[in-house]
Amino acid sequence: MMESEENAAKNAHSSEGSDRKPICVIVLGMAGSGKTSLVQRVTNHLYAEKCNPYVINLDPACIEVPYPANIDIRDTVKYKEVMKQFGLGPNGGIITSLNLFATRFDQIMKLIDKRKAEHKYVVFDTPGQIEVFTWSASGQIVTETLASEYPTVIVYVMDIVRNLNPITFMSNMLYACSILYKTKLPFLVVMNKVDIVEHKFALEWMKDFDAFQAALESDPSYSSNLARSMSLVLDNFYKNLNVVGFSAVNGDGVNEFFDAIEKCANEYEKDYRPEYLRIKKEAEEAKKVERKRELSSSTSRDELITFGEPETSYDIEDEYEEMYEEEKREYEEFRRQFNLDKKPSVNK
Amino acid sequence: MRYAHLVLGPAGSGKSSYCSALAKHCEATRRKLDVVNLDPAAETFDYEPVVDIRDLISLSDVMEDEELRFGPNGGLMFCMQYLSNNLEWLSEQLGEVDEDYVLFDFPGQIEIYTDSNFVSKFINHLQTLNFRVCGVFLIDSQFITDVAKFISGVFVALSTMIHFEIPFINILSKTDLLNPIDRRKIGKFLEPMADILEEDSLLNTKWGEKYKKLTKTIASLVEEYSLVKFTALNILNENSLNDVLLLVDSAIQYGEESEVRTVDDFNQERNGVCE
């Protein structure tokens, strides 16, 4: 197994030479799924293989990081301090810390760029609460910036022990789909904690539609057509899906994990890079337009990062007021159209 | 019959603003509506909750407790578990009023829905209290910038919805913060999915090609089940609020029992007027 690892490393070296870019691995998962332990195990493995990873911790609220982190968000943003200064609760504190960090993400990119020759993998550990990363502006900035530059792989960690219930399993998979559509990046599902429960049953469910239906029907609390339709949808998701069983405790599946990462990185090169180059170009153009608009309206809008409640009472300049009126008119029209669409038969 | 309206959605999707906007709207239209805060980590909101979970347990208490030593997430799970073990407290606080209409402002973390049987226990409890329950799932429309992101939103809504066996209304919130161009875009996503996909370039990209089948099946699911339909909401607009309220009302059949009017009633009334 060590041989295959070495070979892979060698191949990467010889084929791409100094141009080789590190693979960015973003580890996502619900709280308690074992993201940090997975990162720890993966890091240990890579150190043992003399293929040191570059590890970045993005969780501002964790108490300790059990692996050597090259960049730790906690050194940049003090989450407790943010809570105090902005008068936020724990959740708002985490979101704001990550937002603040994301505004400086260009510097992180520079750091990665400097070290890219030495590291084959850049691993990101994300905040415990998955929503903070998947449904926030900062998460989007981090993923898109990375993916526009480096081969990036999303690793979705799920706690297999908690997914013995078919409904929970389905919910988790639906959430995975949501991340897939949001990021549009190569996707790897890691079923963690296989040392406690074997993940065979899950593979069976994913392979055999009827087996899953049987499990669903045996759950007395649930009987719905919607659930059946949803599992049909998911069946299509499973077909393209990379899955590995993993144990952060004893290291089972770590080689399969890296094989899958390698595969995902190849997918990125083949399918995703052209797409990202296009998006990058579009984004640059959009930025120019936005910049012009900002200059002309002379009001800077920090909508990407909002601290707390949105302001409703602006000190409106005349010029801005005009724009606002226009917006309002346009919106009214949009609403009217929408209403008409809903009830096409209504004629006045 | 009593009516419950659960407000769900990711952190920052505008749940609390939605609650306070509805509370104000109902106050203006002289309709009875109470709000219950169920987020133990809530910071500030500008409605007056009739019941507040923080009176029972608050996240900061749990996190500061030396013996428990929870992080923000473990703390939240602990709070929700604590609530689910003390549901009697909730019924006491809610009292025994008939025909009341209560909004429940939930915490944002998806973890509380996917783990534990908190949700089913909570809903069962409400139902034994004679509540008719409906869920409202909010998603920040600022994140819905293209079709793929919209589908992503649909999936998030589904992953939550599946734990609740109740009628669901999905809402794209905060359209008041969008510029007109994006607003028009959002309007487009509310049209039938098949049309959207036809117009959009998503399926023609390499990525879209790969997930074509998945995209098509989810699109047809949205078509088939009105449960997964989305509505746009601008909380600054009274009409928009009213539309959403109407949707929820019809989902839980609010007011249908209290105002049953038969043909005879109408005739009587008409005759009365004529005479």
CB distance B44–A308 less than 8 Å? yes
Task: Tell me if chain A has a CB within 8 Å of the CB of B19.
Answer: no
The confidence score (pLDDT) of residue B264 equals: 66
Residue A143 has pLDDT above 90, yes or no: yes
Contact yes or no for B10 and A237 at CB 8 A: no
Lowest mean pLDDT among A149-153, A276-280, A334-338: A334-338
Query: In this structure, are strands B101-105 and B2-8 parallel, antiparallel, or unpaired?
Result: parallel
User: Where does the pLDDT of residue A41 fall: very low under 50, low under 70, confident under 90, or very high at 90 and above?
Assistant: very high
Confidence bin at A57 (pLDDT 50/70/90):
very high
Reported confidence tier of residue A3, pLDDT bands at 50, 70, 90:
very low
Predicted pLDDT at A95: 87
Residue B162 and residue A227 in contact, taking contact as beta carbons nearer than 8 Å = yes
Rounded to 5 degrees, what are φ and ψ at A327? -60, -45
Q: Within a 13 Å sphere around the CA of A124, how many CA atoms are in the beta-carbon half?
A: 27
Closest CA to A99 of A307, A294, A310, A286: A307
Instruction: Looking at mean pLDDT, say which of A253-262, B3-12, B93-102 comes out highest.
Output: A253-262
* Residue B240 touches partner A, C-beta closer than 8 Å: yes
Shortest CA gap B150–chain A (Å): 8
Position A296 scores a pLDDT of 67
Percent of all residues in chain B with a pLDDT value above 90, rounded to a whole number: 30
Quick check: B272 pLDDT over 50?
A: yes
Looking at residue A182, what is its pLDDT? 92
Q: Do residue B217 and residue A236 have CB atoms under 8 angstroms apart?
A: yes
Distance CA B116, CA B71 (A): 18
Sheet of B101-105: strand order equals B51-52, B34-37, B101-105, B2-8, B131-140, B168-173, B230-232
Report the pLDDT value the prediction gives residue A245, as an integer from 0 to 100: 95
Nearest to B210 among A240, A274, A309 (CB): A240
The predicted model scores a pTM of: 0.81
Per-residue model confidence (pLDDT) at position A261: 95
Min mean pLDDT across A102-106, A228-232, A319-323, B251-255 is at A319-323
B14 has a chain A CB within 8 A of its CB: no
For chain A, say whether B17 makes contact (Cβ under 8 Å). yes
- pLDDT for B181: 85
Contact B46, B174 (CB under 8 A): no
Q: How far is A339 from chain B, CA to nearest CA, in Å?
A: 10
Chain B positions in Cβ-Cβ contact with residue A61 (cut-off 8 Å): 71-72
The pLDDT value recorded for residue A222 is 61
Examine the pLDDT at A75 and tell me if it is beyond 80: yes
Name the more confident of B228 and A146: A146
Question: Which of B162, B234, B238, B239 to mutate to probe the A interface, most A CBs <10 Å?
Answer: B162
Taking the C-alpha atoms of residue A291 and residue A265, their distance in angstroms, rounded to an integer, is 34
Using CB atoms within 10 Å of the CB of residue A45, give its burial: 0 to 12 exposed, 13 to 18 middle, 19+ buried: middle
Cα-atom radius of gyration of chain A, to the nearest Å?
Answer: 23
Interface list for B 161-190 with A (CB within 8 A): 162-163, 165, 175, 177, 179-180, 183-184, 187, 190
The per-residue pLDDT of chain A, averaged, comes to: 81
Q: How far is A234 from chain B (nearest CA, A)?
A: 8
Indicate if the pLDDT at residue B117 is higher than 50.
yes
- Quote the minimal CA–CA distance from B148 to chain A in Å: 5
- Does B248 have pLDDT greater than 70? yes
- Residues in chain A closer than 8 A to B115 (CB atoms): 30, 32, 162, 168
User: Which range, A51-65, A210-224, A278-292, has the best average confidence (pLDDT)?
Assistant: A51-65
Count of Cβ atoms closer than 10 Å to residue A322 Cβ: 12
Give me the total of CB pairs closer than 8 Å, taking one residue from chain A and one from chain B: 186
* Secondary structure percentages of chain A, helix, strand, coil, to 5: 60, 10, 30
Are B147 and B202 a contacting pair, CB within 8 Å? Answer: yes
Name the residue with tokens 């301090």.
Answer: A81
Helix axes B72-85, B118-128, angle to 10 degrees: 30
Lowest mean pLDDT among A271-285, B16-30, B78-92, B165-179: A271-285
Q: How far is CA A42 from CA A61, A68, A198, in A?
A: 21, 12, 20
Orientation of helix A225-239 relative to helix A209-218, angle to 10°: 150
Query: Do the Cβ atoms of A171 and B140 come within 8 Å?
Result: no
Q: Out of A251-260, B6-15, B110-119, which region has the weakest mean confidence (pLDDT)? A: B110-119
* ipTM rounded to 2 decimals: 0.87
For residue B268, what pLDDT band results from cuts at 50, 70 and 90?
low
Q: Evaluate if residue A80 carries a pLDDT over 80.
A: yes
CB atoms < 10 A from the CB of A336, how many?
10
Q: Report the share of chain B in percent with pLDDT over 70.
A: 92
What structural domains and CATH numbers belong to chain B?
A: 2-190+229-274 (3.40.50.300)
Q: Looking at residue B258, what is its pLDDT? A: 58
Name which of A60-64, A193-197, A314-318, A328-332 the model is least confident about.
A314-318
Stretch A132-149: mean pLDDT, rounded?
89
pLDDT > 80? residue B21: yes
For the stretch B143-160, pLDDT in tens is 888 889 999 999 999 988
pLDDT band at B137 (very low <50, low <70, confident <90, very high): very high
The per-residue pLDDT for range B34-65, each reduced to its tens digit, is 999 998 887 777 888 999 998 998 888 887 77
Q: What is the mean pLDDT of chain B?
A: 85
pLDDT at B108: 83
pLDDT of amino acid B99: 83
pLDDT at A17: 44
Of A114-128, A278-292, A334-348, B166-180, which range is least confident?
A: A334-348
